[in-house]
Amino acid sequence: MRALTWHGKHDVRVDTVPDPEILNPRDAILKITSTAICGSDLHLYDGYIPTMKAGDILGHEFMGEVVETGPKSTLKKGQRVVVPFVIACGECYFCGKQQYSACDNSNPADNQDIAPNLWGAAPAGLFGYSHMTGGYPGGQAEYVRVPFSDVGPIVIPDGIEDEKVLFLSDILPTGWMAAENCDIEPGDTVAVWGCGPVGLFGIQSAFVLGAHRVIAIDHFPHRLELAKQMGAEVINFEQTDVYDALMTMTGGIGPDAVMDAVGLESHGLYLDNVVDQIKASTFLGTDRPHALRQAIMACRKGGRVSVPGVYGGFVDKFPFGAVMEKGLTLKTGQTHVQRCLPGLLQAILEEKLDTTFLISDRMSLEEAPKGYAKFKNEQNECTKVVLKPDWAKATA
């Protein structure tokens, strides 16, 4: 089959690779109908995530048709399903608490000598996202093997287009859980750093969950315009001092909750960010957390800090004194997608949530390398790339 494979920093290729096979009775094989490039895929593309190997198949946002099942899979051939990017067994201590991204059984033991040294414990397996999270082939391919297919995938009703439900695989539940982690109360103001896909879904979800005001922070005009169309007030951090603006907009108190949807690759010409970039380029540091530092400093006393943005290593000059002295609550983590799926699918079917506004580019799988380059280098115009393995060429 054809698949998008990783070969190094800014080097992804569409190669011919072996077809996936059933390896476990709970497995299923999908024929991919739609898959997307995620903002966190750019961390792999930029070479920030360790334990990648040449030839690894990328992609953790995908859906498709069931074409083969193991004897213990609950799926049936011909069903259309969306697959969570988090792989979970459904039976361990953590799955029992619906903390699926902490699953103890989906990250193979062969890899569990890596993650504990860096993070203290191994997280769940993820599709197409390094060998620290299982080394599973991803879904930017013609076919994919889905482990524990009796736990994760959700069946899509007939007549619903792929693009309405594709983002159930990751960014919609991630934005939703990020808003849930804000513990929004009536009258609250929520500030969101980053108007990429997760940030925009975080804004949408914050309003649905009852936020009175949402303030969006970015520097790309088109992305700020999308946030404004949702009802958010906006701050362009290249034109305005973010902290001063937030204090002015909240009567000197600060936002009740803040959301860092940026993660480990903050933008902006700030002294701390420049130092972080130098450290990262000289292997003296890993992550660039300027947005997280700024969010913590701006959050009101007793407020909540939600971090859906991906961090992979160690954060330098983390203002933990501000967290403690202001009594902030910090919540983060990979998304427990399986927990969110039924309610979010129903919200889409009832047209309470729209996911299609985000798509800027549709391409064939063969054009995936061009899609990665565009998503990285044209972030104002390119807000989301959807890949169609069946397409011979792009139509957008």
Which residue in this structure is represented by tokens 């995908």?
A: 62
CA dist., res. 200 & res. 383, Å (int): 10
CA dist., res. 119 & res. 288, Å (int): 18
Six-digit token string for 80:
């259309």
Give the 3-state secondary structure of residue 38: coil
- Give residue 392's pLDDT: 67
Give the 3-state secondary structure of residue 316: coil
Shortest CA distance to 303 belongs to which of 389, 388, 189? 189
The model's confidence at residue 111, banded by pLDDT at 50, 70 and 90, is: low
For 271-316, how does the pLDDT look when each residue is reduced to its tens digit (9 = 90+)?
Answer: 887 777 777 777 677 777 899 999 999 999 999 999 999 887 788 8
Sign of CA dihedral 118, 119, 122, 126: negative
Q: State the DSSP H helix or E strand holding residue 274, giving kind and residue range, or none if neither.
A: helix 271-281
Count CA within 13 A, CB hemisphere, residue 324: 4
Across the strands, what pairs with 234?
Answer: 216
DSSP 366-387: GGHHHHHHHHHH-TTT---EEE
90: pLDDT strictly greater than 50: yes
103: pLDDT strictly greater than 70: yes
CA distances in angstroms from 377 to 45, 87, 262, 269, listed in the order given: 12, 30, 16, 17
112: pLDDT strictly greater than 60: yes
Q: Contact at 8 Å (CB) between 179 and 206?
A: yes
CA dist., res. 205 & res. 90, Å (int): 26
222: pLDDT strictly greater than 90: yes
Residues of the chain with pLDDT > 90, as a percent, come to: 81
Pairing of strands 154-155, 80-83: antiparallel
Does residue 268 come out as left (phi exceeding 0), alpha (psi in the -120 to 50 range) or beta?
left
Residues 6+ apart with CB under 8 A from 161: none
- Give residue 295's pLDDT: 97
- Give residue 170's pLDDT: 95
- Give residue 394's pLDDT: 44
User: What length is written for the chain?
Assistant: 396
Q: Contact at 8 Å (CB) between 125 and 87?
A: yes
- Give residue 396's pLDDT: 45
CA distances in angstroms from 339 to 97, 173, 275, 289, 379, listed in the order given: 10, 9, 39, 28, 31
For 321-366, how does the pLDDT look when each residue is reduced to its tens digit (9 = 90+)?
Answer: 999 999 999 999 999 999 999 999 999 999 988 899 999 999 999 9
81: pLDDT strictly greater than 70: yes
- For the chain, report the end-to-end CA distance as a whole number of angstroms: 24
Sign of CA dihedral 380, 377, 308, 313: negative
62: pLDDT strictly greater than 50: yes
